[in-house]
Structure 1
Amino acid sequence: MLLRSAPRRLHLLRPHHLRLLSTAALASAAPAPVPPQAPTEWAEAPLAAVRPATADASLFHVSLDLSAHGDLLASHAAAGQFLPFRLPAAPYPIFLAIASPPPPPGSSAAAFDFLVKRLPGTPSARLCDLRPGDLVHVGASVVGRGFEVARIADARDVLVFATGSGISPIRSLIESGFVENNKTGISLFYGVRNLQRMAYQERFNDWEAKGVKIVPVLSRPDSQWTGERGYVQEITKVLVADGLSKDRILTNF
């Protein structure tokens, strides 16, 4: 685990051949109205794992066993795509960003991983309360186009912003080979309330080894915190106001 303050303050960021990936308002963070691409076909699959992903159990790791659903596995083609879940007694399906990278051709991968916010009283909380082996209904294929990284192939630097469970599709992006394939400078600004709510800390060393500078940004840190403070979701507004074209901002929704 590597947590440290950034070498430059957030307010000094300026657009200079930047490409930006933003997940500040990810659909997995809270229930949302059913989007138009709601599936008409559903599949049934068992949960392979359900466990807390943060010290305060506000986020959960959920893994879905898809060993019997090769077509569904193959439909995951880009980091940032979603899988719909239809849970008992829920009035609408929920759409969760897939955290695991798209399986390469010939891969033996047989599961999708998710990072789920356990918000009491919501369908996502019901999912977090299930156990390994429980069956759930999911869409027969993934939805969404994911991050359209080809649009920013000429950029020299990448700023990645994520908050809370919005780090889920960013994990997929980093571990899909995006960093190694692009040979660019990539900084990940990951915003949460405090370190007890920060997921994937056990992956940070590996991500930094791949070339990703990780900058934790805490909105309500304790008195011992010496790193960055603030709200990551405000940075995109600052960059646009400072001249960064919206065409250089990518989201996965």
Structure 2
Amino acid sequence: MSLTISPNSLSPPHLRSHALHHTLSQPHPMSTLLRHLNRNRLRFRSIISAAVRQDTAFWTPAPLSAVESAAESLFHISIDVSVSPDLVSSHTRAGQYLQLRLPDVEKPSFLAIASPPSFAAERGEFEFLVKSIAGSTAELLCGLRRGEVVELSQVMGRGFDIDRISPPDNYPTVLIFATGSGISPIRSLIESGFNADKRSDVRLYYGARNLQRMAYQDRFADWESSGVRIVPVLSQPDDSWTGERGYVQAAFARAKKISDPQSTGVVLCGQKQMAEEVTSILVVEGVSTEKILKNF
């Protein structure tokens, strides 16, 4: 006959009592799991509720004040934001953008603001240059009429950080590149003012298929009077065109004329391939990537 003695049976009574109490006080694994799930469920509900509240406050209804043709496939859109001071004040820098959505349309559209920040404060409007693309929210927007209501998000993005190419005495050369509707935030920059008249060489290379697709031609004279030399570049011009032909990056490669890369600033907006190729040319020439400004 054998006798098995457990370690606990040899322990003093007060230690055996403590061990029993410790065992009984430990939470059951299932109850721990349930509490964990409940906490996560409450946290998830809190996140969803916050998202719903944020979405409700995120969108501001605003009526269209103008829908006009700006060029072939491009439309000038003005939106009245005069009763939305928070929205107006969120536009602080040229190059910023927002989201716009239409009733019963699930997908919003990202639009760069074409008007300068001061315009909304003075006129109570945001202006946009919108390309009408078949099947897109932008196409539906361009088909609306004055007075119809859209919804706008708060203004987003860092915009063009002009402080990186200031003061003008240190950066007398500023090269600006835009294609198609990418001229929209460039208009905002030029009309916001960046001391172009105090710089010795400010050039805008603006690419489009032809003159019929080139917006803002009526503003060119004002832009040039502010110190910006405009170089239109047409990829498919008619026979009467005597200016630059082909693509913006090719036109710039032919011209270059960067007197001092260390004192050169650059602003880019438009077609991705153009931006990449222009950037490559500039970097080879010695321009710092820190001085190449983009709004995205």
- Rg bigger for which structure? 2
| CA distance in 1 between partners of 2:173 and 2:226 (Å) | 15
Provide the secondary structure at the position in 2 that maps to 1:76: coil
Q: Which residue of 1 aligns with 2:67?
A: 50
Q: Which residue of 1 aligns with 2:236?
A: 220
Tell whether the 8 Å contact from 2:119 to 2:125 is kept in structure 1 after alignment.
no
Alignment of 1:147 with 2:160, yes or no, is yes
Alignment of 1:118 with 2:118, yes or no, is no
Q: Which structure: greater helix fraction?
A: 2
Per the TM alignment, residue 241 of structure 1 is displaced from its structure 2 partner at its CA by 3.1
Shift of the 85–104 alpha-carbon distance from structure 1 to 2, 3 Å rule, reads closer
Q: Bigger shift: 218-227 or 182-191?
A: 182-191
Tell whether the 8 Å contact from 2:205 to 2:231 is kept in structure 1 after alignment.
yes
Q: Which residue of 2 aligns with 1:207?
A: 223
Alignment of 1:240 with 2:283, yes or no, is yes
Alignment equivalent of 1:135, drawn from 140, 146, 149: 149
Alignment of 1:83 with 2:105, yes or no, is no
Tell whether the 8 Å contact from 1:62 to 1:113 is kept in structure 2 after alignment.
yes
Q: Which residue of 2 aligns with 1:174?
A: 190
Show CA shifts across 1:88-117 (max 9, x none): 343422111100001279x43200000000
Structure with bigger RCO (C-alpha 8 Å, 6+ apart): 1
Provide the secondary structure at the position in 2 that maps to 1:90: coil
Tell whether the 8 Å contact from 1:179 to 1:212 is kept in structure 2 after alignment.
no
Show CA shifts across 1:38-61 (max 9, x none): x8311100000001101x2x1000
| CA distance in 2 between partners of 1:182 and 1:104 (Å) | 23
Q: 1:48 is aligned with what amino acid?
A: S
| CA distance in 2 between partners of 1:94 and 1:249 (Å) | 26
Q: Which residue of 1 aligns with 2:295?
A: 252
Show CA shifts across 1:185-218 (max 9, x none): 2100000010000000000001111111000001
| CA distance in 1 between partners of 2:83 and 2:217 (Å) | 31
Q: Bigger shift: 159-168 or 223-232?
A: 223-232
RMSD over aligned Cα atoms: 1.8
Alignment equivalent of 1:59, drawn from 74, 83, 96: 74
Give runs of ≥4 in structure 1 deviating > 3 Å: 88-91, 179-184
| Identical columns (%) | 56
Unpaired segments ≥5 residues, structure 1: 1-38
Q: 1:176 is aligned with what amino acid?
A: S
| CA distance in 1 between partners of 2:95 and 2:286 (Å) | 26
Provide the secondary structure at the position in 1 that maps to 2:188: helix
Provide the secondary structure at the position in 1 that maps to 2:195: helix
| CA distance in 1 between partners of 2:287 and 2:225 (Å) | 29
Tell whether the 8 Å contact from 1:84 to 1:96 is kept in structure 2 after alignment.
yes
After TM superposition, the score normalised by the length of structure 1 is 0.79
Kindly report which structure 2 residues correspond to 1:101-116, keeping only aligned pairs within 5 A, or say none.
101-103=116-118, 107-116=121-130
Q: 2:125 is aligned with what amino acid?
A: A
Q: Bigger shift: 158-167 or 238-247?
A: 238-247
Q: Which residue of 2 aligns with 1:96?
A: 111
Shift of the 104–219 alpha-carbon distance from structure 1 to 2, 3 Å rule, reads closer
State the aligned residue count. 211
Show CA shifts across 1:156-198 (max 9, x none): 2000000000000011001112135754421000000100000
Unpaired segments ≥5 residues, structure 2: 1-53, 249-273
Q: Which structure: greater strand fraction?
A: 1
After TM superposition, the score normalised by the length of structure 2 is 0.68
| CA distance in 2 between partners of 1:191 and 1:245 (Å) | 24
